Amino acid sequence: MKKLIFILLVSFLTAACGSDDGNNRIIGGPTPPNTWISLLVSNQTGDDLLNPNNANTYFSENIKSYYLEENNETHHSVYHSIVSPNDSGRLAYSLKVLLNSKVHENGITYIKWNDTETDIIKADYDIQFTKLKKLWYNNELLFDSNTNTHILIEIIKD
């Protein structure tokens, strides 16, 4: 009986694992670490542009996020949310964004703030998709795992 349970357990675990696009990711597994980032967004005078009480704020319902797929088509995603200071423990509102982690290098995520402003986040991961290696925001390197340990991105809009 113990052998039967062991065989069933091994069969179940083997069936639960597979590859996704040849990237050796576990199907149904958890979201890889560091695929969510938080953005603090302010203007030149320091006003929190995600606070709904401020003028010129970016409202959640107007923000769109997209992935650039390997076939160079964009994929609309709703994987973002505005997090209040009460929920995050920070002093300002933040935008939580799920990054494109479908490729190891140059995973592109677009954030469309409104009809005229779109920013680009590019991310590189290690081969097992367990660690964010580098992150660029509008082609500016903002995170490198060789020199940084904390990911909190502060964006200043004009």
- Quick: pLDDT tens for 34-81: 678 889 999 999 999 999 999 899 998 899 998 877 667 677 665 788
Q: Is the pLDDT of residue 135 over 70?
A: yes
pLDDT, greater one: 16 or 144: 144
**pLDDT value of residue 103:** 73
Pairwise CA distance, residues 49 & 51, whole Å? 6
Task: Write down the mean pLDDT value for the chain.
Answer: 75
Domain spans of the chain? Answer: 31-157
pTM of model > 0.85 = no
